Chains A and B, each alone.
Chain A
Amino acid sequence: MLKPFKQGNDKSRLDKSSSSVWLAYMWGIVTPFICTLIDWPLRDVLGGPSILMIYLLGVFLVANFFGLAASILASLLSAPLFAFYFARPIFSFAISDLENMVGLFVMLVVANLTSNLQNKAHQNAELARQREGRTNALYRLSAALVEARDKQAISTVAVQHIYEQFGVVSVLLFANQQGNLVYPNAKPLNCSLRRVNLADAQAVFQHRKIEQPQHPDVFYYPLEHSKLVFAVLVMQIDARDVEPNFYLSGFFDTFCTLIAQTLQRLHFAEQAKHAILQAETESLRNALLSAISHDLRTPLTRITGAAGALLESGHDCSDDDKQDFGKVIFDEAQRMSDLTSKILNMARFSSGEIILHQDWNVLEEIVGSALNRLNRSIQNRPVRTQLPSNLPLVWVDAVLLEQVLINLIENAIKYTPSGSPIDISAEKSTSGWQLVVADYGLGIPVGMEEKVFEKFYTLETETQQGGVGLGLALCRAIIEAHGGTMKAVNKNGKSGATFIMNLPLREPPLLNLDELGGASL
């Protein structure tokens, strides 16, 4: 029989139960004497059966409060007391009266029967209480497990509930990538792992049993569901503190199954996530491959051609030709280099989460740097900037925001005729600040305003322009990582692609004028 209890009050509980047994027996002995004392002054008024009824009441009360054993003791003691004090001849254990004899016999039988009945009722009540307690415990466990989002959290919940329910210190061991169990990074309870043997746990993990456990009081339990073991529950069982063999009970099994189910749910969720990630990586790889084959082949062909011509013609080659071929090789290699670094950047940003290195920045600097880096491709195209002087410092990752601007400006250059202007403007808005990059080209095809932000999407009609279709997806990811939003519209409804980014504004740090003054010459 398994009873819920906490380890904390374990000792006192044991003491209490042994002392309550003695108390029960004491009452079993004392009660018949009390009944005798009650009956004694009434012995002339009441007949034998009525006196026996008082004894019966006493036995009944003892059965009610102190259980079966005490009540049997009370009934057995009641018989000689009745015979001695009340049944004629008085002050002798002999009973001459047939009525009293029958009465005594009936009382003994009735006393025992009622005691038994009561005991059963008690047991049933106790059982019901236990069941309710367990149902509650399971409910609490499942409620807590639903909240748990990762292995660490599940482990914490499981270990705490096992401790509360069974009073044992336990730990959940999980396997690493290679399928080997490892010690947890953080202990869910302030408990010691000192007797936990990884080899034993590993054996349970793989074969569900141990040949020869190193510590017999350390118990390894595989948390399995649908024939898959997700973890090993290790319990340090101190025989003095807990119910023996509690782990053989069905309740404990249910408890563990619940934990195993949660681990299974997590396992499947992780698998699904992994599959999605893999699919994305796969399509990224495909996009990169096609980008490489399309965009890198052209310059490579030219380089190979020019270098081959240089090698083959040898001394016949005129100096002018040499110069020309050299220039082709140099220019094309430069183009390839730009393209590869761009593709690599995109791949790096797209594959993982974006980590921001935010700092207080002046937007003007970021715009200036982006334009400076694009000097060569901008050529004589007018770039009009409108950055109001009242724009405060912005809390952004300058390198990434520069990347956003570079991508947008490059896009504008790619999709508009040369000489067509590009506008970059910013302003404070009610909720933060707004950055807008606009061109005067054909605009985004109607209905594609959202689609352009999808990974690997490129405007089909412009495939000869190259590009892997990651630029805008990356821009949006960066802006969203900053807590902002990004959308694309056409300025005049159908032409002039305009990218609007709304970003939150933070209270900039105050300039301490004293500190600044310290720099005076």
Chain B
Amino acid sequence: MNPSKPLILLIEDDQQTRRFLKTSLGHKGWRIIEAGDGKTGLAMLKNDKPDLVVLDLGLPDMDGISVTKRLRQISDIPVLILSARSQEQNKIMALDAGADDYLTKPFGTGELHSRLQALLRRINRGHPVAEVFQTGQLKVDLALRKVFINNQEVNITPIEFRLLSILVRQAGLVATHRQMLTEVWGIEHINDQHYLRIYMGQLRHKLEINPARPRYLLTEIGVGYRLAVYES
């Protein structure tokens, strides 16, 4: 990966938005290249080898879902979707097509920055995954399949562990219902959302102090789940 500042490919048609993102992200230590439409974006992806893609769903030439699909055919690069409120369904489709996370417009640059950092962590998938993952008081030992809260081991079932490990693998990023159902129960159970809800509920009761106001296992209504990342 890039040893110096990470390079972001920003595909967004609004010039003003591009300008302010470039300025504020530049201050936070990112380098940015811009594309005003999907085709240019895909071309730049091949030529400039960026580390991350930030993709606006409403592009003039092609919709965000097909951009995501085309992009996934040629690269494994992390993709962050920028969506407006009215594009709820498109957002989920783009996530299922391979985008890694989303941010609803309007957003603060602080929020964008932390999402990008979470995505950057995902790039390190190529390296051996850290054996022990920690966020706040939650510690997950992936090698030993053990989970600790406040250094006390929590007893969890294999399925719960698999769900948790999906969230750990993309900590800070959203995991869609579809993705989790497919990975744990298989593609034929894609519509059995109640499986997921029941097991996530059990997991919440084991890991959260107040399951109705979770600190780690956040629900993204209508989309999926996200494991919150806190500095320890």
Contact = CB atoms under 8 A, between A and B. Distances in A.
Interface stretch (B37-45, B122-130, B135-143, B186-194): B186-194
B230 interface: no
B176 to A, nearest CB: 14
Given A362-B201, A520-B159, A368 B185 contact: no
Nearest to B163: A519
A516 B161 contact: no
Contacts of A345: 85
B226 to A, nearest CB: 10
Contact of B185 (A424, A515, A521): A515
B197 A360 contact: yes
A361 B219 CA distance: 11
Given A509-B194, A519-B184, A365 B201 contact: yes
A304 interface: no
A372 B212 CA distance: 10
Nearest to A395: B194
Contacts of A372: 213-214, 218-219
B221 A402 contact: yes
Interface in A350-377: 357, 359-362, 364-369, 371-372
Nearest to B225: A365
Interface in A475-521: 508-509, 511, 515-516, 518-521
A364 B184 CA distance: 22
A368 B222 contact: no
B64 to A, nearest CB: 20
A387 B218 CA distance: 17
A344 B85 contact: yes
Given A360-B193, A364-B212, A371-B212, A521 B221 contact: no
B193 A359 contact: yes
Contacts of B211: 364, 368
B197 A393 contact: yes
Nearest to A348: B86
Given A364-B201, A368-B211, A371-B212, A399 B222 contact: yes
B3 interface: no
A389 B161 CA distance: 21
A366 B213 CA distance: 10
Interface string B64-102: 000000000000000000000100100000000000000
Contact of B162 (A334, A357, A359, A519): A519
Contacts of B185: 515-516, 518-519
A398 interface: yes
Contacts of A385: 210, 212-213
B194 A508 contact: yes
A518 B145 CA distance: 18
A366 B220 CA distance: 9
Contacts of B222: 357, 398-399
Contacts of A364: 201, 204, 211-212
Contacts of B218: 368-369, 372
B186 A518 contact: yes
Contacts of A387: 212
A443 B212 CA distance: 25
B109 to A, nearest CB: 9
A337 interface: yes
Nearest to A378: B213
Given A344-B85, A519-B184, A520-B159, A368 B213 contact: yes
B21 interface: no
Contacts of B195: 511, 515-516
A386 to B, nearest CB: 9
Contacts of B186: 518
Contacts of A330: 108
A488 B192 CA distance: 35
A341 interface: yes
Interface string B103-144: 000101000000000000000000000000000000000000
A508 B194 CA distance: 9
Contacts of B108: 330, 334
A383 interface: yes
Contacts of A361: 197
A440 B9 CA distance: 50
Interface in B145-182: 145, 158-159, 161-162
A377 B160 CA distance: 33
Nearest to B204: A364
Contact of A383 (B189, B198, B213, B221): B213
Interface in B34-74: none
A357 B88 CA distance: 13
B214 A368 contact: yes
A516 B186 CA distance: 10
B10 to A, nearest CB: 21
B7 interface: no
A366 B197 CA distance: 11
B200 interface: yes
Given A518-B185, A518-B186, A337 B197 contact: no
B198 A366 contact: no
B180 to A, nearest CB: 11
B199 to A, nearest CB: 8
10 contacts: A365-B200, A369-B218, A371-B213, A372-B218, A393-B194, A393-B197, A398-B222, A509-B194, A511-B195, A519-B185
3 closest residue pairs by CB, A with B: A385-B212, A360-B194, A521-B158
Given A330-B108, A424-B212, A519-B158, 14 more contacts: A341-B85, A365-B197, A366-B219, A368-B212, A368-B219, A371-B213, A385-B212, A389-B205, A398-B221, A398-B222, A399-B221, A511-B198, A516-B185, A520-B159
Interface of A: 330, 333-334, 337, 341, 344-345, 357, 359-362, 364-369, 371-372, 383, 385, 387, 389, 393, 398-399, 402, 424, 508-509, 511, 515-516, 518-521
